[in-house]
């Protein structure tokens, strides 16, 4: 294993972790406000096709990212209308959003199959990313840096701002938050929309960066990994970053095991690639169990997660 | 004028029946508008997806075969949903059930007959229940949220399938294609003569009536209904909530496993990477569209099966991707969930003049 190999591995891992980091971050905010949105996969696909379409028409991938965020947020608001305004069941509505997003993106994507899009420019001067070490720091897509900045912003927002405190209060005890005068529904709408925007941008990373083209169902179940990631990170933004890269390592191991390229790991030939693919989910269940054991003392899972807001009137 | 919602003392029975039908009709209507807006012949698409499979008799077999797993899984999930136990991992339990049946088939070698068939079906039920028992243990022992754990285990099941059909269970005579060896003629479930309708379809037709008896006549059915509608009363009445979780998960998992075994032994006879078709997720729509009632589930299963078959029809007639049927399935679920408001509330229109004093209440 030489250093060039390690560097290229890290670059790959940072790349494949970015969509789940973004989508997970959005879902974390929604769940902190007490809303469980199982539509992440659908919102990612809607973002992927919307951003791709905008980029095809405008020739500008930056506008594509904005389009993906807007489309993701709109699809999340649709979900919000059902669960927040009409009080429908969050689990079932979220699943419906995923099925809806998968179908809608396939339908809209029909006329975009085989189209090509212009690549992102680099945010840093090209000379910085010529040698391997330079590439390690300066060679990524702008979306990667955006995701990192958003982690810091979300962590700061939730921990240190008044609005973040209100959002957490709404997720922790909606009735109390309501009784001291905060609009539970408005806060939840905002959190859900933010979640959708992040999922949409996470999705467009597939169609603009990983493989710059459109293919049906191209997010390949990563939305579900993002949902697992939020739990794995026990609803904390800094841990979400660590978790995303950890899941990224597992996804990278799976990709390499499929290609038979794990010869550097002793005994790796005996482990099927499916083992690595199943690991994020198994680890998440283990973390869930650990959190629940600690739960009796007090934990981090929003107390109102998944429950409708029903004030006595 | 303003609109006021009044909570009904009892859910409206009339609305319980009307809203699913209205949801389907509204879906068709919105479908026409949306598809026209997208530049596709909306009327043709909606007719092909919702009506052609019902009107063209040669499509009935397809509808029956597709409806069977949806009905069977939907029945099991309805029990859990009624008791507020959210098993959303039916897809995984369906996969494991099919794999267990396939394991029996492989172990049986070339021997067949009713004994092997019964064994496959029982293995499917056992496998599905076993897969669902993990979330059940976690829920009852540690209080782990069953929504998240059952969902995670679906994705583990997908990897188990991928490993088995691409590795140890790969058909040695299959030209290296990742699939199990097909069942022999006397291992596969019997078919209705000259059709593709297998014994599993019969099971799917009988089970709703058994579930209806179970839910309306037995103590168990009473327990599930009480736990779901009045959890506090249930606790005072001595119904153990852990027991309810176990029953809901085992029945939900067992039914999903049964559906997987029947789909394998009846319809497909082999398992490949395309086996996971999302029936376990679609069955959640079925259970809601069927209003968690066994006979409703039977009808809803047929409606959803029609959209699957119709999706394939529309693929060739108006050239839209197969996944498009999902748009309609999702819309139906959106509308049925939203229409719950009419079941639980009475909508009152209050004239504007009189609303001023009323606003102060």
Structure tokens at B15: 């609305």
Q: Is the per-residue pLDDT at A296 higher than 60?
A: no
**pLDDT mean across residues, chain A:** 89
Write down the pLDDT at residue A130. 74
CA–CA distance, A149 with A143 (Å, rounded to integer): 10
Residue in chain A nearest B325 by alpha carbon: A103
Q: What does the CA dihedral A141, A144, A150, A156 come to, rounded to 10 degrees? A: -130
CA–CA distance, B284 with A286 (Å, rounded to integer): 26
Write down the pLDDT at residue B16. 83
Structure tokens at B205: 């037709």
Write down the pLDDT at residue A1. 59
User: Could you say which of A103, A285, A306 has the minimum Cβ distance to residue B149?
Assistant: A285
How many other C-beta atoms are found inside a 10 Å radius of the C-beta of residue B209?
12
Q: What is the pLDDT of residues A38-83, one digit of tens each?
A: 999 999 999 999 999 999 999 999 999 999 999 999 999 999 999 9
Chain A residues 75-94 with a CB less than 8 Å from chain B: 82, 86-89, 91-93
Write down the pLDDT at residue A165. 94
Q: Which residues in chain B come in under a pLDDT of 50?
A: 354-361
Q: What is the pLDDT of residues A76-125, one digit of tens each?
A: 999 999 999 888 889 889 999 999 999 999 989 988 988 988 888 777 77
Least Cα distance to B332 among A103, A84, A307 occurs for A103
Write down the pLDDT at residue B1. 61
Alpha carbon B243 to its chain centroid, in Å, reads: 23
Write down the pLDDT at residue B29. 94
Q: How far is A15 from chain B (nearest CA, A)?
A: 22
Rounded to 5°, the CA angle A227-B80-B95 comes to 60
- Give the best residue of A288, A304, A306, A310 to mutate against chain B (max B CB count within 10 A): A288
pLDDT-based confidence at A312, cuts 50/70/90? low
Write down the pLDDT at residue B352. 64
CA–CA distance, B314 with B324 (Å, rounded to integer): 9
CA–CA distance, B126 with A230 (Å, rounded to integer): 32
Write down the pLDDT at residue A24. 97
Q: What is the pLDDT of residues A176-211, one digit of tens each?
A: 899 888 999 999 999 999 999 999 999 999 999 988
Chain B residues touching residue A106 (CB < 8 angstroms): 321-324, 326
Q: What is the pLDDT of residues B181-212, one digit of tens each?
A: 899 888 888 888 888 889 999 999 999 999 99
Write down the pLDDT at residue A205. 96
Domain ranges of chain A: 3-295
Mean pLDDT of A4-8: 85
Mean pLDDT of A151-160: 96
Write down the pLDDT at residue B357. 44
User: Could you say which of B144, B147, B323 has the minimum Cβ distance to residue A306?
Assistant: B147
How many other C-beta atoms are found inside a 10 Å radius of the C-beta of residue B104?
21
Write down the pLDDT at residue A311. 73
Write down the pLDDT at residue B76. 96
pLDDT-based confidence at A295, cuts 50/70/90? low
The domain made up of B2-359 has a fold known as ABC transporter involved in vitamin B12 uptake, BtuC (1.10.3470)
The domain made up of A3-295 has a fold known as ABC transporter involved in vitamin B12 uptake, BtuC (1.10.3470)
Write down the pLDDT at residue B361. 35
Write down the pLDDT at residue B356. 43
Q: How far is B290 from chain A (nearest CA, A)?
A: 14
Write down the pLDDT at residue B353. 55
DSSP-H helix ranges across chain B: 13-37, 42-46, 52-55, 60-82, 90-108, 114-137, 146-166, 199-217, 219-229, 231-236, 241-262, 279-289, 294-317, 324-344, 352-359
Write down the pLDDT at residue B12. 78
- Give the best residue of A82, A226, A254, A274 to mutate against chain B (max B CB count within 10 A): A274
Chain B residues touching residue A313 (CB < 8 angstroms): none
Q: Are B188 and B269 in contact (CB under 8 A)?
A: yes
Whether B88 sits inside 8 A of A36 (CB atoms) is: no
Write down the pLDDT at residue A78. 96
End-to-end Cα separation, chain B, in angstroms:
17
Q: Which of A11-15, A219-223, B35-39, B46-50 has the lowest mean pLDDT?
A: B35-39
Write down the pLDDT at residue B358. 42
Write down the pLDDT at residue A6. 87
Region of B100 on the Ramachandran plot (φ > 0 left; ψ -120 to 50 alpha; else beta): alpha
């Amino acid at each position: 294993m030489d250093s060039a190999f390690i560097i290229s591995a890290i670059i790959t891992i940072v790349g494949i972790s970015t969509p789940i980091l973004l989508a997970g971050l959005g879902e974390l905010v929604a769940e902190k406000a007490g809303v469980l949105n199982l539509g992440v996969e659908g919102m990612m696909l809607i973002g992927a096709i919307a951003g791709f379409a905008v980029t095809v028409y405008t020739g500008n991938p930056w506008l594509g990212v904005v389009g993906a965020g807007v489309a993701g947020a709109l699809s999340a608001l649709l979900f919000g209308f059902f669960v927040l305004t009409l009080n429908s069941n969050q689990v079932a509505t979220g699943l419906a959003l995923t099925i809806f997003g998968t179908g809608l993106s396939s339908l809209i994507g029909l006329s975009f199959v085989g189209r090509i899009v212009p690549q992102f420019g680099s945010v840093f001067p090209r000379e910085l990313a010529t040698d391997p070490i330079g590439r390690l720091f300066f060679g990524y897509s702008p979306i990667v840096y955006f995701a990192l900045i958003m982690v810091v912003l979300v962590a700061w927002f939730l921990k240190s701002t008044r609005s973040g405190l209100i959002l957490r209060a709404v997720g922790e005890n909606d009735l109390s938050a309501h009784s001291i005068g905060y609009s539970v529904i408005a806060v939840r709408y905002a959190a859900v929309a933010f979640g959708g925007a992040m999922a949409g941008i996470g999705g467009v990373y597939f169609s603009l960066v990983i493989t710059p083209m459109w293919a049906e169902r191209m997010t390949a179940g990563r939305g579900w990994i993002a949902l697992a990631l939020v739990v794995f990170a026990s609803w904390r933004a800094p841990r979400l970053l660590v978790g995303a890269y950890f899941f990224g390592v597992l996804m990278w191991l799976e990709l390499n095991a499929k290609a038979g390229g794990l010869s550097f790991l002793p005994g790796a030939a005996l482990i099927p690639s499916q083992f690595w693919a199943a690991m994020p989910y198994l680890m998440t269940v283990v973390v869930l169990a650990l959190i629940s054991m600690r739960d009796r003392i007090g934990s981090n899972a929003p107390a109102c997660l998944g429950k409708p807001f029903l004030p006595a009137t | 004028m303003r609109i006021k919602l009044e909570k009904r003392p009892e859910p409206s029975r009339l609305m319980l029946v009307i809203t699913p039908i209205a949801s389907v009709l509204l879906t068709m209507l919105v479908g026409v508008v949306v598809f026209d807006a997208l530049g596709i012949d909306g009327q043709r698409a909606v007719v092909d997806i919702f009506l052609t499979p019902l009107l063209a008799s040669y499509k009935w077999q397809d509808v029956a075969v597709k409806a069977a797993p949806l009905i069977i899984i939907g029945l099991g999930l309805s029990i859990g949903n009624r008791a507020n136990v959210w098993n959303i991992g039916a897809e995984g339990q369906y996969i494991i059930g099919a794999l267990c049946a396939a394991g029996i088939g492989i172990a049986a070698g070339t021997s067949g007959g009713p004994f092997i068939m019964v064994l496959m079906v029982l293995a499917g039920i056992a496998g599905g229940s076993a897969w669902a028992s993990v979330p059940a243990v976690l829920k009852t022992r540690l209080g782990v949220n069953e929504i998240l754990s059952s969902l995670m285990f679906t994705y583990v099941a997908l990897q188990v399938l991928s490993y088995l059909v691409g590795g140890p269970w790969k058909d040695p005579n299959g030209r290296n294609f990742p699939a199990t060896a097909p069942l022999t003629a006397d291992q596969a479930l019997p078919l209705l003569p000259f059709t593709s309708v297998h014994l599993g379809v019969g099971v799917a037709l009988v089970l709703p009536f058994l579930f209806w008896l179970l839910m309306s006549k037995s103590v168990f059915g009473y327990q599930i209904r009480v736990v779901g509608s009045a959890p506090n009363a249930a606790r005072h009445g001595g119904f153990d909530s852990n027991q309810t979780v176990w029953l809901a998960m085992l029945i939900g998992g067992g039914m999903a496993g049964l559906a997987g075994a029947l789909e394998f032994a009846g319809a497909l006879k082999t398992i490949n990477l395309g086996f996971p078709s999302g029936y376990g997720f679609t069955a959640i729509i079925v259970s809601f569209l069927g209003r968690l009632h066994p006979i409703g589930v039977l009808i809803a299963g047929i409606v959803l099966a029609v959209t699957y078959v119709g999706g394939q029809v529309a693929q060739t007639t108006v050239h839209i991707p197969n996944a498009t049927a999902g748009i309609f399935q999702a819309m139906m679920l959106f509308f049925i969930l939203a229409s719950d408001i009419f079941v639980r509330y009475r909508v009152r229109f209050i004239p504007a003049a009189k609303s001023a004093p009323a606003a102060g209440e």
